[in-house]
Structure 1
Amino acid sequence: MQAASLSDRRTRVLTGITTTGTPHLGNYAGAIRPAVAASLDPQVDSFYFLADYHALIKADDPARVARSRLEIAATWLACGLDPERVTFYRQSDIPEIPQLTWLLTCVTAKGLLNRAHAYKAAVDKNTEAGEDPDAGVTAGLYMYPVLMAADILAFNAHRVPVGRDQIQHIEMARDIGQRFNHLHGDAWRALTGKAGEPLTLPEVEIEEHVATLPGLDGRKMSKSYDNTIPLFAEPEVLKKLVMSIVTDSRAPGEPKEVEGSSLFQLYQAFADTEQTEAMRQAYADGIGWGDAKQRLFERIEATVAPMRESYRELIARPDHLENVLQAGAEKARAVAAPLLDELQRAVGLGGFGAALTVRASTPEPEASKPPVFKQYRETDGRFYFKLAQDDRVLLQSEGHESPRDAGQLVAKLKQSAGAEVHHVLDKGVHLGGHLVGHLGEGVLVEELVAALAQFAEEA
């Protein structure tokens, strides 16, 4: 499809947040903010998702998972993510992800999974306690790296922004993808006629200064440590939490070190260069911890307050959030589904015709392919579609403000089955009196009508 070909010329970046709790300042500074900034780059094809399958590994409270999905969806949008510019979806809305997980599971060495940090930590904890090494360890925890690899490889992402504690998972995704390519790459190339490898091996991307924020106790801000500051806490709650940040016993007037100071690291994450240097000087001048915490509260509140208002409005409109995510899932599946079809055929699944094609020494000439609509976004920011068959463009659309507008018109054309397409003037194609696009080079209106009629036969 054209959308994929345009994406091929851009760097695809993918990231997500596990839906096990309320988003906190660490999530914002370490993942959401840099991701939203990256999404504005016209050379970046951005994929963002709610990792709700991953949530089931850590959480057994359905109400908490459901609430977290809503909160995190609202958080991304409140923080400035534009669903019209990116692909924003729920992991559980993409059936190709668990399908790919199984394909990858069948090529993943158990020894590789034995080395995963989370699994090793669980085993070490059990061993120290005198328990069976695998006590309380679920297959979900053990297989987490494979699911994460499927999240990434299903969309052939080039880069994945993560914290340093997640680097191993990206390395494992590369190992798993490389193994799949080695075992099934030849079959994939024979089936598709494409060069290269079926799966793109991702690179790690880390924001060095804000990849990990300290929590209230100085350790990494994490729900598992119960030391987080909720991103959209009310001002009075935010101030109370900031004032509870652990500091040393140095008195007012006594110079303080910025190195290793949790409070300074938090301030730096929400301040510009000038503000950061001013705080650095204040530390050297002996600012009191109470005054430093007040400055931190004011800096965070100045950043968060506008987003908090948007967040409240979004939380109150779950139907709107659902529509946004469903539209995102449709865009995501337009990328993942064709790839999964190719991968399944490459491993010997799919229709019997696919297996015969792999074994044929001289493939039979391909029959004419059915017509297909392809939706994409151009550099002018508008959304287009085309109806193509084989290598011919039968219909090229006008530009549209949103992918939904383009998609609705595609649906109308399919439903019309060509019967309502009329009044072609200077190659302008009209549906119900409205211009929808232009005929391709050398295409007759009869060919367009015949192609549209095939959608009625499929229905």
Structure 2
Amino acid sequence: MTTRILTGITTTGTPHLGNYAGAIRPAIVASRDPQMDSFYFLADYHALIKCDDPARIQRSRLEIAATWLALGLDTDKATFYRQSDIPEIPELCWLLTCVAGKGLLNRAHAYKASVDKNVEAGEDPDAGVTMGLFSYPVLMAADILMFNAQKVPVGRDQIQHVEMARDIGQRFNHLFGKGKDLFVLPEVVIEEEVATLPGLDGRKMSKSYDNTIPLFGSAKQLKDAVARIVTDSKLPGEPKDAEGSHLFTLYQAFASQSQQAEFRAELEGGLAWGEAKNRLYQLLEDTLGEARERYNALIARPADLEDILLAGAVKARKIATPFLGELREAVGLRSFREQVQVATSEKKKAAKSARFVSFRDDDGSFRFRLLDADGEQLLLSKSFADGKSAGMANKRLQSGEPLDVRVEGRVFSVWVDGESVASSPEFTDGQALEDAIARLREALAPQE
């Protein structure tokens, strides 16, 4: 079974070298893992919270989309879309807003930082605070919960927002799930190993410090930027401290192990800083040159980018649209046409529901089956020596306690107290297996 991961990219700036090494490159690598179901989106609704320049947002959306595609994101293997192309997300955001506690949002770091800054300046605590900033965590929760992402890779500054998404999703499940988890509660994946590159002045590469190296500037712009990297005053021929050099740290992020070892030896042997910068420039040009050509070609064809993103939105909405329908049903936003049918359908469900069938096998052992509402076998128990043991296992499965379901190949089994008590037939494919597990959980969910 695959694991669904989700990452959003705020569209307020132009990608730089630090973005590539720290976020884009590892995300693209992860998307190639067949065990991962990757969802990557342009968080352009989030961008409106911090930027009121329409031209900048439009340009940033174009540049970021072109960047990810030029660097090798395969949209057949990942779902790549714009947040603003999924109308189900803002609707879900409202449903979640209605269950999110104000006290929870009061504790959000970004909001508290704005309040603290205002208080320190002697202003009203909420001066300049928009509802967009205040409710940002709810929109992020909608991004995550809309697709039931299981893993959300974030830096440490975003951990709280994923935890809030869990809290909001859990409350929604409690209020409207009727014993069923409508939302998967996401897990934080802390990116401890993510490369943090130094900028031109040695501080963390960041637009805030104006020390970035553009990812897809021209070859001349790249060379000029590398030439501005701050180094110490050691002369040619004097040994250089590779570990203390920001230039060497940048080189490490893009070089092979053998290239790193060779460059380190040359620095310690007295390589001039000017030549060292030229080596770094050449490495970056070799690494990014072809991607830059692809990027420029994509920027020149914005209609092609539009088609790619809209195709990604269609793919994403195949999940979002029916799921939002399920959520609307759960909260009571239902069609009047269906209201008359509710009592009848409930009677049918009561008359035709999943059931256990106990029997004695030819060898004299005792067993039981679980059949779904259509009579399809979901589980067949192991053999028990006596009817009492079989009955106890059967009772445990119907007790409403959390199910321990384990998958091996195209078969799943149910375990009780560390022992397999029943298993499924073999299914034709992974989707049929997942559907059967869902029917099993529904059949064994506590009844009200």
TM-score, scaled relative to structure 1: 0.70
Q: Which amino acid aligns with 2:262?
A: A
User: 2:92 maps to what in 1?
Assistant: 100
In 1, distance between residues paired with 2:331 and 2:106?
A: 25
Post-superposition offset of 1:16 = 2.4
- Does 1:241 find its partner at 2:225? yes
In 2, distance between residues paired with 1:278 and 1:126?
A: 52
User: 1:47 maps to what in 2?
Assistant: 39
Structure 2 residue matching 1:178: 3-state secondary structure: helix
- The answer (yes or no) to whether the contact 1:245–1:263 under 8 Å persists in 2 is yes
Post-superposition offset of 1:297 = 1.9
Structure 1 residue matching 2:260: 3-state secondary structure: helix
- The answer (yes or no) to whether the contact 2:115–2:125 under 8 Å persists in 1 is yes
- Does 1:363 find its partner at 2:355? no
Q: Equivalent of 1:116, from 101, 108, 112?
A: 108
C-alpha distance 316-87 of structure 1, shift in aligned 2 (>3 A)? same
In 2, distance between residues paired with 1:274 and 1:356?
A: 73
Post-superposition offset of 1:234 = 0.8
C-alpha distance 155-235 of structure 1, shift in aligned 2 (>3 A)? same
- The answer (yes or no) to whether the contact 1:31–1:161 under 8 Å persists in 2 is no
- The answer (yes or no) to whether the contact 2:63–2:299 under 8 Å persists in 1 is yes
Post-superposition offset of 1:41 = 1.4
In 2, distance between residues paired with 1:121 and 1:308?
A: 38
Q: Equivalent of 2:154, from 162, 177, 180?
A: 162
In 1, distance between residues paired with 2:219 and 2:134?
A: 40
Q: Which amino acid aligns with 1:365?
A: K
Deviation string 1:304-327 (CA, Å, 9 cap, x unpaired) is 101000011111111111111111
Structure 2 residue matching 1:54: 3-state secondary structure: helix
Post-superposition offset of 1:171 = 2.2
In 1, distance between residues paired with 2:248 and 2:341?
A: 62
Structure 1 residue matching 2:315: 3-state secondary structure: helix
In 2, distance between residues paired with 1:118 and 1:292?
A: 41
User: 1:324 maps to what in 2?
Assistant: 308
In 2, distance between residues paired with 1:322 and 1:303?
A: 27
Post-superposition offset of 1:128 = 2.4
C-alpha distance 212-362 of structure 1, shift in aligned 2 (>3 A)? same
In 1, distance between residues paired with 2:108 and 2:264?
A: 39
- The answer (yes or no) to whether the contact 1:18–1:51 under 8 Å persists in 2 is yes
Q: Which amino acid aligns with 1:154?
A: M
Q: Which runs of 5 or more residues in structure 1 are unaligned?
A: 1-8, 190-196, 367-389, 392-459
In 1, distance between residues paired with 2:132 and 2:203?
A: 26
Q: Which amino acid aligns with 1:300?
A: L
Structure 1 residue matching 2:90: 3-state secondary structure: helix
Q: Which amino acid aligns with 1:42?
A: P
User: 1:180 maps to what in 2?
Assistant: 172
- Does 1:63 find its partner at 2:60? no
User: 1:256 maps to what in 2?
Assistant: 241
In 1, distance between residues paired with 2:136 and 2:287?
A: 34
- Does 1:13 find its partner at 2:5? yes
Q: Equivalent of 1:274, from 258, 262, 269?
A: 258
In 1, distance between residues paired with 2:197 and 2:340?
A: 55
- The answer (yes or no) to whether the contact 1:162–1:211 under 8 Å persists in 2 is no
- The answer (yes or no) to whether the contact 1:163–1:211 under 8 Å persists in 2 is no
C-alpha distance 291-177 of structure 1, shift in aligned 2 (>3 A)? farther
The number of residues matched between the two structures is 350
Q: Equivalent of 2:68, from 70, 76, 90?
A: 76
Post-superposition offset of 1:250 = 5.1
In 2, distance between residues paired with 1:43 and 1:240?
A: 42
C-alpha distance 354-269 of structure 1, shift in aligned 2 (>3 A)? farther
Q: Which amino acid aligns with 1:145?
A: P
User: 2:209 maps to what in 1?
Assistant: 225
Deviation string 1:114-141 (CA, Å, 9 cap, x unpaired) is 2222222222222222222222121111
Q: Pairwise mapping of residues 308-457 of structure 1 onto structure 2 (< 5 A)?
A: 308-352=292-336, 363-365=346-348
Post-superposition offset of 1:287 = 4.5
Deviation string 1:414-440 (CA, Å, 9 cap, x unpaired) is xxxxxxxxxxxxxxxxxxxxxxxxxxx
User: 1:142 maps to what in 2?
Assistant: 134
Deviation string 1:359-405 (CA, Å, 9 cap, x unpaired) is x6981337xxxxxxxxxxxxxxxxxxxxxxx99xxxxxxxxxxxxxx
C-alpha distance 282-315 of structure 1, shift in aligned 2 (>3 A)? same
C-alpha distance 218-117 of structure 1, shift in aligned 2 (>3 A)? farther
Q: Which amino acid aligns with 1:162?
A: V
- The answer (yes or no) to whether the contact 1:210–1:269 under 8 Å persists in 2 is no
Structure 1 residue matching 2:81: 3-state secondary structure: strand
- The answer (yes or no) to whether the contact 2:242–2:248 under 8 Å persists in 1 is no
In 2, distance between residues paired with 1:363 and 1:111?
A: 39
C-alpha distance 168-218 of structure 1, shift in aligned 2 (>3 A)? farther
Flag the structure with larger Rg: 2
C-alpha distance 263-352 of structure 1, shift in aligned 2 (>3 A)? farther
Structure 1 residue matching 2:89: 3-state secondary structure: helix
In 2, distance between residues paired with 1:244 and 1:78?
A: 26
In 1, distance between residues paired with 2:341 and 2:229?
A: 64
C-alpha distance 282-86 of structure 1, shift in aligned 2 (>3 A)? same
In 2, distance between residues paired with 1:165 and 1:218?
A: 21
Between 1 and 2, higher relative CO (CA 8 Å, sep ≥ 6) is seen in 1
C-alpha distance 219-99 of structure 1, shift in aligned 2 (>3 A)? farther
Q: Which amino acid aligns with 1:336?
A: A
Alignment root-mean-square deviation, CA:
2.6
- The answer (yes or no) to whether the contact 1:255–1:283 under 8 Å persists in 2 is yes
Post-superposition offset of 1:293 = 2.7
In 2, distance between residues paired with 1:106 and 1:51?
A: 22
Q: Which amino acid aligns with 2:169?
A: G
